[in-house]
Amino acid sequence: MLQQTPVVRVIPRLAEWLERWPTPASLAAEPSGEAVRAWDRLGYPRRALNLHAAAVAITDRHGGVVPSDVPSLLALPGVGDYTARAVSVFAFGERHPVVDVNTRRVIARAITGNGEPGPAHKRDLADMEAILPESDRDAQLANIAFMELGALVCTARSPRCDVCPIVEACAWRNAGYPEFAGKRAPTQKKFAGSDRQVRGLIMAELRASEVPVTLAEIDGVWPDDVQRARALAGLLADGLVVSVPGGFELPS
DNA sequence: TATCCGTGGAG
DNA sequence: TCTCCAAGGAT
């Protein structure tokens, strides 16, 4: 849920989710479409599909117990470098670098002296490893500290250097806050009018219905025939929508 | 590697 | 209004 989604938006949804599905097996026992429906408007609904698939994999391959080692976690659908290490470190206390947008920004500023982290890179893991304390517990605390510092103090927009605990050691600050010169991640495309928006509208229609949604109803969510067809085809290809007699519905 | 994939709050 | 950007991952 936290992948590319602000923490404050995740918290209430997570609470509902865990009340309904307290274990991987309980989620795995339901149709994947129920996960997509409960995902509601969190965004990137493929994550709901992945989470359900991960619950199935954990139930099948790991006896319903979430694995603690990074390779096993990485093998789960929708789990990448960040999520695998976050679970291993924060839930199980293993020692790994946890690299997310926050830790990358803190390292970029405090250590490298750049105002922005630039696009994510495989090398980020080694950069984080290089400054990680030796013991499991201290490494865990360091990971937490870097993430919290980036999320609450060393923010992207307007960093609160006046309350930063490491401001005197910050390379970016000590260099006089130079303008970022490196290459940055490509800017997101406009959402309004995008395929993403159309996909979202179609998904909202399906989530709201307990019976198959007709093609005529889907036609009503967006005026551009070509774009609407492309969005629907994409959703079908992604497995977020399935075709049934009489229309379309969430997967089972 | 670049692009695609939602949604909504903040400035 | 409009832009930015958020505990990323898959292809």
Rounded to whole angstroms, the distance from the CA of residue A6 to the C1' of nucleotide C6 is 5
Cα→Cα distances A88→A29, A113, A139, A143, A233, Å? 25, 30, 12, 12, 37
Name the segment(s) of chain A with CATH classification 1.10.1670.10: 77-187
Contact flag, residue A18 CB and nucleic strand C, below 7 A: no
Contact flag, residue A50 CB and nucleic strand C, below 7 A: yes
Tokens of A52: 């359900």
Residue A249 phi, psi (nearest 5): -150, 175
Residues with CB under 7 A from strand B: A 4-6, 9, 41-46, 119, 121-122, 157-158, 185-186, 188-189, 191, 194-197, 199-201, 203-204, 234, 240
Residues in chain A with pLDDT values less than 50: none
- Spatial distance between the Cα atoms of A85 and A79, rounded to a whole number of angstroms: 9
In words, the CATH class of domain A77-187 is mainly alpha
Q: Using CB atoms within 10 A of its CB, is residue A111 exposed (0-12), middle (13-18) or buried (19+)?
A: middle
A248 - beta bridge partners?
A213, A243
Contact flag, residue A158 CB and nucleic strand C, below 7 A: no
Q: Determine which helix (DSSP H) or strand (DSSP E) holds A228, and give its type and residue range.
A: helix A225-238
In words, the CATH class of domain A7-66 is mainly alpha
Contact residues for A163 (Cβ-Cβ < 8 A; gap 6+): A153
- Spatial distance between the Cα atoms of A46 and A191, rounded to a whole number of angstroms: 18
Q: Determine which helix (DSSP H) or strand (DSSP E) holds A248, and give its type and residue range.
A: strand A247-249
Bases along strand C below 7 A from a protein CB: 3-10
Rg (CA), chain A: 21
Check residue A249 and give its pLDDT: 98
Maximal C-alpha separation, chain A? 66
Buried b / exposed e along A9-46 (16+ C-beta atoms within 10 A): eeeebeeebeeebeebbebbebebbbbbbbbeebebbb
- Give how far the C-alpha of residue A17 lies from the chain's centroid of Cα atoms, to the nearest Å: 16
Check residue A80 and give its pLDDT: 98
Name the segment(s) of chain A with CATH classification 1.10.340.30: 7-66
Question: Tokens 């979430």 sit at which residue?
Answer: A66
Check residue A185 and give its pLDDT: 87
